[in-house]
Structure 1
Amino acid sequence: MRGRCRSSLAKWLPSSASAAVLETSGHPQDCQPTLPAFPNREPDNREPQQAGLYKMSTIVSPRRNAEPNEEIEARLQAQIEPFDSFWEAPEDIEKGYSSFHKFYEHNYLQYIPRQKDARILVTSCGPGYFVNLLSKSGYTDVLGIDSDASKVRWAETKGLNCRVARAFTFLASNRQPFDVIFVEQEINHLTKEEVREFLELCRRNLGDSGILIVHSLNGANPITGAEALAQNFDHFYTLTEYSLRQLLESCGFGDVRVVPLNLYVFYSNPLNYVALSIHALTSLICSLYFRLYGKTNRIFSKKIAAICRRKD
Structure 2
Amino acid sequence: MISSEELTAKMEPFDSFWEGPHDIEKGYGSFYKFYKHNYLKHMPEDRNARILVISCGPGYFVNMLNREGYTNVLGIDSFQEKIEHATRHGLNCETARAFEFLQENGEAFDAIFCEQELNHLTKQEILDFLGLCWNSLRKGGRLVTHGLNGANPITGSEALAQNFDHYNTFTEYTFGQMLEYSNFQDIRVYPLSLYVFWTNPLNYALIAMSALYTLFFRVSFIMYGKTNKLFTKKIGAVCQKGRG
TM-score band, normalised by the shorter chain?
over 0.9
Equivalent residue runs for 1:85-104 within 5 Å: 85-104=16-35
Distance in 2, Cα, partners of 1:223 & 1:147:
32
Distance in 1, Cα, partners of 2:15 & 2:137:
18
182, 186, 197: which one aligns with 1:255:
186
Distance in 1, Cα, partners of 2:201 & 2:47:
34
Shift of 1:274: 0.8
Distance in 1, Cα, partners of 2:161 & 2:38:
26
Secondary structure of the equivalent of 1:277? helix
Distance in 1, Cα, partners of 2:205 & 2:150:
24
Match of 1:304 in 2: 235
Shift of 1:214: 0.8
160, 181, 204: which one aligns with 2:135:
204
Shift of 1:227: 0.4
Match of 1:177 in 2: 108
Match of 1:214 in 2: 145
Shift of 1:113: 1.1
Q: Structure 1 residue runs of 4+, over 6 Å off? A: none
Distance in 1, Cα, partners of 2:199 & 2:224:
39
CA root-mean-square deviation: 0.9
Distance in 1, Cα, partners of 2:204 & 2:170:
27
Distance in 2, Cα, partners of 1:221 & 1:102:
24
Say whether 1:227 aligns with 2:218: no
Q: List per-residue Cα deviations over 1:162-212 (Å, max 9, x = no partner).
A: 000000000000110000000000000000110100000000000011000
Secondary structure of the equivalent of 2:161? helix
Any gaps of 5 or more consecutive residues in structure 2? none
Q: Return the index of the structure with the highest Cα Rg.
A: 1
Secondary structure of the equivalent of 1:301? coil
Shift of 1:161: 0.1
Equivalent residue runs for 1:41-80 within 5 Å: 55=5, 75-80=6-11
Distance in 2, Cα, partners of 1:267 & 1:308:
29
Distance in 1, Cα, partners of 2:215 & 2:81:
43
152, 155, 167: which one aligns with 2:98:
167
Match of 2:56 in 1: 125
TM-score w.r.t. length of structure 1: 0.77
> In structure 1, what residue type is equivalent to 2:22?
E
Q: Between the two structures, name the one with larger relative contact order (CA 8 Å, sep ≥ 6).
A: 2
Quote the sequence identity (%).
58
Distance in 1, Cα, partners of 2:211 & 2:21:
26
Distance in 2, Cα, partners of 1:89 & 1:280:
27
Distance in 2, Cα, partners of 1:254 & 1:114:
19
Distance in 1, Cα, partners of 2:131 & 2:161:
28
TM-score w.r.t. length of structure 2: 0.98
Shift of 1:220: 0.5
Shift of 1:229: 1.1
265, 274, 280: which one aligns with 2:205:
274
Say whether 1:147 aligns with 2:78: yes
Match of 1:69 in 2: none
Shift of 1:114: 1.3
Equivalent residue runs for 1:10-21 within 5 Å: 11-12=2-3
The number of residues matched between the two structures is 243
Distance in 1, Cα, partners of 2:115 & 2:14:
10
Secondary structure of the equivalent of 1:135? helix
Shift of 1:239: 0.3
Shift of 1:103: 0.3
